[in-house]
Amino acid sequence: MYKRLSAVMFPIAAILFVGAIVWGYQEHQEKNAILIKAENQYQRAFHDLTTHMSGLQDQLGRTLAVNSASQGMQRKGLVNVWRLTSEAQNEINQLPLALLPFNKAEDFLSRISDFAYRTSVRDLTKQPLTNDEMKMMKSLYAKSSDINQELGKVQDAVLSDHLRWMDVEVAMASTDSTHDNSIIDGFKAVDKKVSAYPEHDWGPSSMSTSRKRSVKMLSGQDATPEEIKRKALEFAHTTIHNGAGTDVKVVENGRKTDNPSYTATFRGPKGENIQMDYTVKGGQLLSFMNPRDVTSRKLDVGAARERASQFLDSHGYKDMTPVTYDEYDHVSVFTFVGTKDNVRIYPDKVTVRIALDNGEAVGLQAADHVYRPKSLSVGKPKIARAEAQKVLNPEFKVQSYNVSIIENEEKKEVLCHEFTGKINGSQYRIFVNADTGIEETIEQIPESAKAILK
């Protein structure tokens, strides 16, 4: 009986044993494949980062090298600086650096990107780069050289010693506070060098660019790539006049960072590469860029402004008013800020680009709107308008007035009396703290913005 039972059970046990070995081997192979894929993605992002940082230094050098009268070349250089810093930020988000003290370097890149973007979209023929801006670019060029040297050391170590980024994840996940890893040490050295730089005066127009942005500031469930694809197609259908392709590629960025996002790309009607960025949490649109050529002008400023307002309203950006305007290459650039109880809220901001040939929206920057303070209380000024106006220069001719909320140098929202006016032949906005009566900040208004000022 036992012989018959063993004769039956032994083959079954053998089959189960072999099956367990095969299953374990397959699991091991699948795990290795996932690890190899993750390592390859990390390596690609890092080497792309070093390439784009090198290109950033090169573009800053080229922009500084051209004649000050070559505004077209300066604009192209600044656009490339903005593009390269944006790509570098995207690659940093793809690296396992969330637990490293790398925030100074990320903030530095964010400031460069914002400076380059805002400078490139203005009309440089009417508002050429100032001496201070040229000095800043020279400083940024020197500092980018320092950063590239440190990144070069990390890259040399990665290539020569065959270092793995998966080891970085293991080291940072370890409870041991002493991380002995050349990659970690290299990135710490980069951040330490950046933190030693003196703070630049980036100007009042970038008052909200350094606000700490985190997924904790967002609401809603995490969006899937399929949901982002659907959102991108719906947006394109209502925005792009001649239609766009339906083959949408969605890539996730910065999975383990404070700002995970999706990038959706697809082809426009003439083959242009259209790009849209969304938050993972809530699936909110951060930016949209349609880089098509605009070769003619058929709309005036008033019509373009109306198209920009209609575009924002149709896509859910309610109660917003334009505060700045610029124009270049037959494209109008409007900056809108949110309003609440007739108070302008500058931290809640979007920038819209309108093509003047057909009124189509060809660009949107909405990150400040997405990460705006959600529970902001407007309040009432403690100091009356007349009292606040007394602190202004007697020669300042007030043309308009608003109550506004801005971010001060301490990154806190403050209620202000906003006076728009003219002095020494130029227009300015002066913000006076509505509680203390102290001038918080002053912003020069481009001549081109007169067309939308009330």
How far is the first Cα of the chain from the last one, in angstroms, to the nearest whole number?
102
**Which pLDDT does position 4 carry in this prediction?**
60
Three-class secondary structure of residue 200 per DSSP: coil
Neighbour-count burial of 202, counting CB atoms closer than 10 A to its CB (0-12 exposed, 13-18 middle, 19+ buried): middle
Is it the case that residue 197 has pLDDT exceeding 60? no
Q: Are 307 and 330 within 8 A, CB to CB?
A: no
Report the alpha-carbon distance of residue 122 to residue 117 in Å, rounded. 9
| Cβ contact 235:366 at 8 Å | no
User: For residue 354, which of 376, 331, 338, 337 has the smallest C-alpha distance?
Assistant: 331
Model confidence at 204, pLDDT cuts 50, 70, 90, reads: very low
Handedness of CA 285, 290, 294, 298 (dihedral sign): negative
All structural domains of the chain, each given as residue ranges with its CATH number in brackets, are 30-202 (no CATH), 225-370 (no CATH), 385-452 (3.10.450)
Confidence grade of residue 165 (pLDDT, cut at 50, 70, 90):
low
Strands 397-407 and 273-279: unpaired
Mean pLDDT of 283-291: 86
> Which residue, among 438, 440, 437, has the nearest Cα to 429 in the 3D structure?
440
Residue 175: band (very low, low, confident or very high) from pLDDT cuts 50, 70, 90? very low
pTM given for the model: 0.59
Give the per-residue pLDDT at 103: 58
Distance between CA 274 and CA 242 in Å, rounded?
Answer: 13
Average pLDDT over residues 353-372: 88
Supply 305's token pair.
């402004």
Cα angle 286-112-259, degrees, rounded to a multiple of 5: 35
Mean pLDDT of 142-170: 73
pLDDT for the residue numbered 417: 94
DSSP 290-315: -----------HHHHHHHHHHHHHHT
164 vs 320, residue with greater confidence: 320
Residues 87-111 have a mean pLDDT of: 67
CA 87 to mean position of chain CA atoms: 10
Is the pLDDT confidence value at 180 over 80?
Answer: no
The closest of 396, 397, 414 to 405, measured between CA atoms, is 414
